[in-house]
Every structure is written in structure tokens, then in C-alpha cells.
Amino acid sequence: MKNNERWIIATILFVIAVLASIDIYNDYFEGVALWHISIEAIVGFVALAGVFYLVRGRFRLQHSLAQEQQFSEDLQAEAEKWQQVSEKYVKGLSVEIENQLDRWDLTEAEKEVSFLLLKGLSNKEIAEVRGTSVQTVRSQTNAIYTKSGLNGRSELSAFFLEDLLPPQKQDTRSEM
């Protein structure tokens, strides 16, 4: 429900509660039957309960939104900090990867394809990024694997990235 709709409905319910209160006051002094006054009191009470529910819900939503905005700002700050801290390492890694690609004697196009493979792009995506055909990318990837002596995308990624990941912990239960 939109914010303005909540306020409009809450205002209408509040006006109903006020009008019901005025009517109850007048009916009481005019000697109207108690059951009639009771029904009007229930209507007024229900209207006030609706006002309370809508206003409380609005403030809860506002508080929740503020928390989510703060969380988002914290995540953004953390991401920026990570980028700043890791920037020199990423640049260094990129230089070292390029040096290795040079040692494998890859062409500039093959180097570009290698980096795109390491980023996880499919052959089709690489072809779209580079404005070539999928067949051309397939030929370039085959040349990369042949010149490097690797058997595919997984080995290419592992060659450069395996040492970046911490070693897996051995499950001591299975060794017993």
C-alpha cells in the first residue's frame, strides 16, 4: 500500500471515530437505547484501531526502510574498501597473467580471449563482446589450449587461480 493511501485511509478512519464519538455523546443525552450507543462505540473503537494499525505499520515500514538503507550503505562502503585494498593485488595478478600468456606466445586476440575465459564468459558471450563469430572464438580457445599445454577452460582457470584459494580442510573423520 502506498504511503499516501495509508494516510488517507487513516484520516478517514479517524474522522469516522470522531463522528461516532460526537454521535454517541448526543445520543447519550437524548436517551437513545444503550444497544444503539454500544454499536456506535464499537464502530468508533474499530475505526481508532484501524488508525493505530495503519500508523504503526507506516512507522514500522519507515524504520525497516531506514535499516535497509543503512545496511546497503554499509555493504557499499565494504565493497569500496575491498576494491581499494585489493586493487594493487589485482593489478599485479593481471600483469603476471599477461606475462604468462606472453611466455606461451599467444597473440593479442588470444590473450584477450584468455582473460575473458578467466572471467567466466562463454564462447558465445566472448564472440559478442569481441564482435566475432563463435567459430572464431572456438579456434582461438583451441590455440590457447594447444600453446599452453592445458586441456581446457578448467585447467586454464586452475593454472592461474588455484593458489589464490585457501587449501581445503581435510575431513579427519574419513581418515579414521
Predicted confidence band of residue 101 (pLDDT cuts 50, 70, 90):
very high
pLDDT in tens, 50-62: 999 988 988 898 8
Q: Which pLDDT belongs to residue 173?
A: 57
Q: Which three cell numbers stand for residue 148?
A: 599452453
**Are the beta carbons of 19 and 59 closer than 8 angstroms?**
no
Distance CA 165, CA 176 (A): 27
Residue 3: the pLDDT is 66
**Do residues 131 and 141 lie in contact, with contact meaning Cβ atoms separated by under 8 Å?**
no
Output DSSP code: residue 167.
P
3 state SS of 81: helix
CA–CA gap between residue 79 and residue 91 (Å, rounded) = 17
State pTM to two decimals.
0.51
Query: What digits encode the pLDDT tens for the residues 27-47?
Result: 888 888 989 889 999 999 999
Q: What are phi and psi of 15, to 5 degrees?
A: -60, -40
Statement: residue 168 has pLDDT above 70: no
Q: In the chain, what percentage of residues exceed pLDDT 70?
A: 91
